[in-house]
Each structure stands twice: as C-alpha cells, then as structure tokens.
C-alpha cells in the first residue's frame, strides 16, 4: 500500500528576509527559519542588533547575514530589492505602537504607527513580490499581525487599525499573487513577552487584565510563534494562502 508522505517543513536552498529582526519576535522567527535550512537576511534600523543576531545564528550552525533597512524609507526599500536576487520567503515583522486613548492621539502618532505597520508593510511586500515575479520564484509572504486585528482594546486604536488593515491587505495580496505561486498569510499573536513588552507586564493590574483574557492562562513566548512561521514558509503549507494563524491562547475564542 502506498502511503502519502508529509510535505517537507525544511527550507533548504531558500532565501528568507525578516524585517525588524534585531530582537524579540523578529529575531526568533529568523532563528526558526535558519534552523530549518533557510539562508536568512536579518534587517532592522539598528545594524548592530541584526549583526549580533546573524552572528548568533551562524554560531548555531545556520546561514545568516545582516543589513540595515529602515522600512519607513520607501526609496531605500525599493533599492534594497533592486540590488538583491529574489527571496523565497518574506517575514513582514517590523512594526511599532503608541498606546494612547483615542482622544489623546495626535496626527504625528497616527502617521508614525500607520506608516510603519501598514504603509511600510505594503511596500516591503510589494518589493519582495515584484522581484519574485520577475525571477519566477514561487514563495511565501508572512505578515506579523496581532489578535488586535480582531478585537478592540483600550489605548490601542492606532494599533488595532493597522492590524485589522494588515489582515485585509494580506487577503487581497493572496488573490493578486496566486497566479504566480506566491502565498500570503498572517500570524496573529497575543501578548508576547519580549524585552520590549516586559515593562508593561511589571504593572500587576495590566498583567492581570491580559491573563484574564488569555484562556490558556499565560503570556505568549517567542517560541510559540516559531513553528508557525516555518509552517507557512514551507511546502507543508502549499495550499494555504489568504488566511491567518491566530496564536492567542484563546483570547478571541469567545
């Protein structure tokens, strides 16, 4: 009897780009892709951080290089893709947040959050996809969204707007890019404990409010996202496009 074989989760021979890869979620996702065979390019505004990340990946036996890229500088984004061969995988991770009540949000706050989380994500994805199409590369776009793309939250109007927008953007990408064999999906985490978010959780009241909504009763860790990015980047997700993996511990289940 012939048994079907599980499609490979391995990424050998593929090139992956991770934005905002200097620390936290971005660095973890880059490490996950490299651990599974991809040659990973880590980029961020701060070169020293991604250089350290790439060095750590190489020390662990992976393939990695680092580069400086400010995703809000759209001419620099265009040059970045023009100067390199196509990537097989893009992890659109760079993002920002300015938690404020909606009545306190300024025009500058709005521009800062929406420009990075939505505008820059759009044009980074466009740059990657155009190069894939030009070189006949079938690949995967993976955008890092949030559970806040499904629910509202106090002091999160800008962040929610950007992440709700990202989910719709990715679905439309999937339709435009399907004829070229390019898939587009979103990973949407709950609150993940990283060096950047840890100070928020030092507030017992805030921590309690978050844990009350995460049905599994704990904060997320970067490791909780690593399998998801490997899956969506790999042949195991060959028929998966225009959708989303919610990794939220049950936050949005009720």
Long-range contacts from 72-79, C-beta under 8 angstroms, 24+ separation:
72/115, 72/116, 72/119, 72/120, 74/120, 74/123, 77/120, 77/123, 77/124, 77/127, 78/123, 78/127
Element (H, E) at 39: strand 39-44
Give the distance, in angstroms, between the CA of residue 119 and the centroid of all CA atoms in the same chain: 14
Q: Is the pTM of this model over 0.75?
A: yes
Catalytic residue among 80, 81, 159, 173: 159
Three-point CA angle 21, 25, 26, nearest 5°: 20
Fold entry, domain 15-243: Rossmann fold (3.40.50)
Residue 110 annotated to the active site: no
Question: Which pLDDT value is given to residue 250?
Answer: 98
pLDDT tens, per residue, the chain with 254 residues: 999 999 999 999 999 999 999 999 999 999 999 999 999 999 999 999 999 999 999 999 999 999 999 999 999 999 999 999 999 999 999 999 999 999 999 999 999 999 999 999 999 999 999 999 999 999 999 999 999 999 999 999 999 999 999 999 999 999 999 999 999 999 999 999 988 788 889 999 999 999 999 999 999 999 999 999 999 999 999 999 999 999 999 999 98
């Amino acid at each position: 009897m012939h048994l079907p074989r599980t499609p490979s989760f391995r990424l050998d021979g593929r090139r992956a780009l991770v934005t905002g890869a200097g620390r936290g979620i971005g660095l973890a996702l880059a490490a996950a892709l490299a651990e599974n065979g991809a040659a990973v390019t880590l980029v961020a505004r701060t070169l020293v951080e991604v250089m350290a990340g790439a060095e750590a990946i190489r020390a662990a036996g992976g393939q990695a290089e680092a580069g400086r890229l400010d995703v809000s500088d759209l001419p620099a984004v265009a040059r970045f893709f023009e100067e390199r061969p196509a990537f097989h995988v893009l992890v659109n991770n760079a993002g920002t947040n300015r938690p404020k009540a909606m009545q306190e949000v300024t025009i500058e706050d709005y521009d800062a959050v929406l420009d990075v989380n939505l505008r820059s994500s759009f044009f980074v994805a466009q740059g990657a996809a155009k190069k894939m199409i030009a070189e006949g590369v079938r690949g995967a776009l993976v955008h890092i969204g949030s559970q806040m793309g499904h629910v509202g939250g106090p002091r999160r109007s800008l962040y929610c707007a950007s992440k709700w927008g990202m989910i719709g953007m990715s679905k439309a990408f999937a339709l435009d890019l399907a004829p070229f064999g390019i898939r587009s999906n979103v990973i949407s985490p709950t609150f993940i404990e990283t060096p950047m978010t840890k100070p928020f959780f030092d507030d017992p009241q805030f921590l309690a409010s978050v844990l009350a909504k995460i049905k599994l009763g704990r904060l997320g860790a970067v490791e909780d996202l690593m399998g998801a990015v490997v899956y969506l980047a790999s042949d195991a997700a060959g028929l998966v496009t225009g959708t989303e993996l919610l990794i939220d511990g049950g936050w949005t289940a009720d």
